[in-house]
C-alpha cells in the first residue's frame, strides 16, 4: 500500500471513530432540575429521594467480533427511601409537557413531580390505583 493511500485510510478511520462517539459523555452533562438529594413527605410520612447521573455507554459488536459500535451517554438513576426504609429504585424518568417529571417506583406505580417553585415541588404517587401526595424540597 502506498504512503498516500495509507494516510487517507488512517485519517478516514480516525474520523469514523470520532463520529461513532468514541469520546465518553460525562455524567455531569445530563441535565434536569430533579438531580441531587431531596427531603420529601409521602402521604405525610418523611422520606428521601436521590437522583444521580450515571454512565450509560454501550458497545455492541457484530457476530464476527471485529466490528463494534460504541455509543456514549448518561442517564438518571433514582432512589427513594420511605420513612427510613431501605432505598428502592426509581425508574424510567421522563419529562412532562410542562417540564415536570414522571417516573416509576420500583413496584411499577407511576409518580409525578411538577417543576419546583422556590426549591419545592408538590406532586403525587400512586398505589393500588389511588393517588397520594408527594412533596419534596431542598
C-alpha cell at 43: 402521604
Q: Report d(CA 125, CA 110) in Å as an integer.
A: 7
Q: Report d(CA 123, CA 128) in Å as an integer.
A: 17
* pLDDT score of 5: 37
CB distance 72 to 57 below 8 Å: yes
* pLDDT score of 59: 87
Q: Report d(CA 17, CA 23) in Å as an integer.
A: 9
* pLDDT score of 97: 86
**What pTM value is reported for the model?**
0.70
C-alpha cell at 61: 459488536
Place of cell 427531603: 39
* pLDDT score of 23: 38
> Mean pLDDT per segment of 10 residues, for the chain of length 138 residues?
40 38 48 94 97 89 85 91 97 93 96 96 95 97
Amino acid at each position: 500500500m502506498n504512503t498516500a493511500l495509507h494516510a487517507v485510510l488512517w485519517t478516514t478511520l480516525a474520523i469514523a471513530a470520532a463520529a461513532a462517539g468514541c469520546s465518553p459523555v460525562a455524567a455531569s452533562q445530563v441535565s434536569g432540575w430533579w438531580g441531587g438529594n431531596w427531603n420529601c413527605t409521602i402521604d405525610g410520612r418523611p422520606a428521601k429521594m436521590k437522583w444521580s447521573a450515571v454512565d450509560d455507554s454501550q458497545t455492541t459488536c457484530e457476530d464476527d467480533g471485529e466490528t463494534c459500535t460504541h455509543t456514549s451517554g448518561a442517564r438518571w438513576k433514582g432512589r427513594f427511601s420511605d420513612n427510613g426504609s431501605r432505598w428502592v429504585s426509581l425508574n424510567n424518568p421522563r419529562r412532562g409537557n410542562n417540564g415536570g417529571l414522571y417516573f416509576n417506583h420500583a413496584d411499577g406505580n407511576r409518580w409525578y413531580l411538577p417543576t419546583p417553585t422556590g426549591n419545592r415541588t408538590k406532586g403525587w404517587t400512586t398505589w393500588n390505583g389511588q393517588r397520594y401526595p408527594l412533596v419534596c424540597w431542598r
